[in-house]
Structure 1
Amino acid sequence: MLPTPTVRSLDEKVYDPAEDSFLLLDCFEQDQGYLLEKFPPPHTIPLVVEIGAGSGIVTTFVKQNILKDGIYIATDLNPHACKAVLETAEENRVDDEKLESCQMDLTNGIKNKHVDVLIFNPPYVPADEVPAVPETDDDESWLDLALCGGPQGMDVTWKVLHGLETTLSKNGLAYILFCARNNPMDVKRDMEQLGWKVDKIIERKAGWEVLSILRFQKT
């Protein structure tokens, strides 16, 4: 088993690593062979982007253990999370010359089919609406952005799914986490009808919730 990165005590406005975070770590450990076959080192230097990186534990883990030669961009709307990503990388002695933390909405600043590996632990909890972006750094509601995903918990996730065509490289992969209430098998069917290859990599019961991670790639 690969070691779990150490995360410093986080600002209360940043999402603490939880069952969904650790499921992503297990997913990448399980899929390591497939990723190294797709992006063999040292000849391939993949661009890895994590959306909504939160504490940075997933980006740090993948950089340390899976795609060590990759270039990493961790994005988050939350400025406190952007800071936490760099702190987690530093805590675990990750080479930050190939790791950037950027405050942005999803992948809006990354276009032209450059992303080789996209990682997304979305705000998947069903809620009345997706929260508005706070106007000040000291607003207490920053954490809500990491949790609330609209009535089906899918508002933000569908934005990412519909943008994969213009985000992923020719051989690009997207790893996206879902809860059972998001109806991931319906998502799989719908995306396959749009010409995507979709595989369920891992699934786990976490308390009262069932979480799964799907891998998307162009056919």
Structure 2
Amino acid sequence: MKERILAEAERLFWKFGVRSVTMEEIAKQLGISKKTIYQHFSDKEQILYQVIQHKTSRNQSEMDCMVTDTANPVEEILNVLNMMQKNADQVSPNLLMDIKRYYPQAFSLFRQYKEGQIMRSILENIQKGILQGLYRADMNPAILARLRVEQIELAFNHDLFPSDQYSMHDVQAELIHHFVRGMLTEKGFEVYNQYVNKGKEIQPIIYENK
């Protein structure tokens, strides 16, 4: 029952944001009483905290497998984009802002994940790309990794990217493609264009290093 509650809460939080989802709504969707939920969780923030624990753990496992299965750092970072985009349009733009403003313990957990695992993964990707000649050697990997980490939160900023004008899918795609292209060498662009063209369902666009 606890796992069912967490799974349904995650679905509702991601779709509608956290503040708008009540304990009554979670109970209603599961066909149980609020009392049953309170037997497992003291309040909504405790549910949210454990949802984020589970979600970040799953994400990290996926990313670790991705690193093992990909041929190079360019493919790796673009596969991360594909992972993010799977359910991008099903994620409420209010999600992260709700957590940041109203649920400090849960947001602290997200920040730990962002500053630890995500930051380390991006930094390692950049360093590998430089060693393989796919990324420029004249960059500061720590600064670029920090930039990419902050872009994750930036995509959820409703003031910058209102949901009635921009989809989460498009925002994430523009940010990460811009980020990757700024790092590529000529050799890196060859790999990048192969990957992008392979994934095009319509006529491909060839990006050139200018």
Larger radius of gyration, structure 1 or 2? 2
One fold, TM greater than 0.5? no
Greater helix content: 2
- Name the TM-score, length of structure 2 as normaliser: 0.26
- Name the TM-score, length of structure 1 as normaliser: 0.25
